[in-house]
Amino acid sequence: MLKESISDLRKVFGPAWLVMMADVDAASVITAMQSGAAFKYEFIVILLALIIPLYFIMEVAGRVGAATKKGLGELIRENFSKRLSIALSFPMAITDFLSYVAEYAAIAVGLKIIGISPVISLPLIYLAHVAVVFKKEYEKAERYLLAVSLVLVFSYIVFMGKGLQGYPLFPSGVNREFLFLVAANVGAVIMPFMLFYQTSATAKKKYHSVKASRIETFVGAVFSEVIMVAVVLASVGLNHSTLINSSGELTAAITGIGGAYAPYLFAVGIIAAGFLALVVISLASSWGIVEALNIKDNTWFKIYIIETLPAVVLPFFFSDLIGLVLTLMVALVFILIGPVIAMGVLAQNGKLMGKHRLSGFGRLAFWASVIAVICCGLLAFA
């Protein structure tokens, strides 16, 4: 059975891994950098602990997509109502738009470190973002994204730089900023778009084995959080003012930590992260909307274009997105509540899921993870 699952995994590998790598997007990296700069290594244990809810929640997303061969928006519309499907999909699309702004801004910072002006880089990135989906079949586009994800993993792990330097690994003191960053990291690790993307992408790939989806989800969850830990380690020598000022100051600070080539590795990593997230988040958003509205033609691509075009312009008018990004990460925890509860209820439906129905330990672990995520979001108001 395991051999069959691994064989199936080789054929359809992609959805869970890509969504986990897209989760290590520019906004998540900024959140991890802020955590490392402010509290050194104290967030490492927290980030590693987040592997648990990340796996159990996203395992259900993959399970639902594999078992039903339908996306989450479509399933909510068919099993609850069109109104609820729209109500859960559109808030995700709105926050996704803000995420696009952060991704484009971060890509611009990365390219500026390399020496390319945003006036040149952002339009080119937008065209590449559109072309990677428009000119290729989904499966072909996914191959390019998988290559980008490998660049992302390599860049951040190499950028990890120096090892542990004697700072405490566990929280030595808890204050309001610490709790806010805990909430922001939770929001950064499990985003609403991830549920919609993994169910739809898994359905489109026609998984024959739920176990294959489960294996891929676990591998992706572990790797994504290891990368976040790498970012925290690399950010220990930074400070708050460095993060919110110019790319020149950021370059100088990173050079001081990892050497002359560290800024370029960081730039490659954040460009790869931003680009991968742009494609995956916009696909999830457009799929969620057309599934909610029950649109069968290529309207999803029009939404994809319209939704992302204004985001490429806004970074030219804002110099400090750090506060916006962190607040957005906290907000995502609460936008996640509706879709994740609906997904859990669907996963428990025996008629819909058949032998793959969520039950026993899996059900307990899923709902415990959901409750833990929501409670962590509430810490922002402590």
Question: Smallest Cα–Cα separation from 254: which of 102, 122, 109?
Answer: 109
Tally of residues, the chain: 382
What is the value of pTM for the model shown?
A: 0.80
Residue 162 is classified by DSSP as S
Q: Is the dihedral of CA 136, 138, 140, 143 positive or negative?
A: positive
Question: Could you read off the pLDDT of 50-75 as tens digits, one per residue?
Answer: 999 999 999 999 899 988 988 888 89
| 194 Cβ neighbours under 8 A, 6+ residues apart | 19, 22, 23, 58, 61, 284
| 9 Cβ neighbours under 8 A, 6+ residues apart | 209, 212, 215, 216
Question: Could you read off the pLDDT of 69-97 as tens digits, one per residue?
Answer: 888 888 988 898 888 887 877 776 676 77
Question: Smallest Cα–Cα separation from 218: which of 356, 343, 70, 365?
Answer: 365
SS3 content of the chain, % helix, strand, coil (to 5): 85, 0, 15
Contacts 24+ apart (CB under 8 A), 171-174: 171/39, 171/42, 171/46, 172/42
Query: For the chain, what are the domain ranges?
Result: 2-381
Question: Could you read off the pLDDT of 256-275 as tens digits, one per residue?
Answer: 666 677 777 777 777 877 88
Question: Could you read off the pLDDT of 126-139 as tens digits, one per residue?
Answer: 888 777 666 544 55
pLDDT band of residue 168 (cuts 50, 70, 90) is low
Q: Rounded to whole angstroms, what are the CA distances from 278 to 62, 81, 91, 195?
A: 21, 29, 17, 16
Is pLDDT above 50 for 2? no
Of 29-38, 101-110, 229-238, 357-366, the range with the highest mean pLDDT is 357-366
Residue 305: other Cβ atoms inside 10 A? 15
Please give the Cα distance from 47 to 361 (Å, whole number).
23
- 2-381: what fold? Amino acid/polyamine transporter I (1.20.1740)
Is pLDDT above 50 for 4? no
**CB 216, CB 16: distance < 8 Å:** yes
Question: Could you read off the pLDDT of 302-342 as tens digits, one per residue?
Answer: 666 776 777 777 666 655 555 666 777 788 888 888 889 99
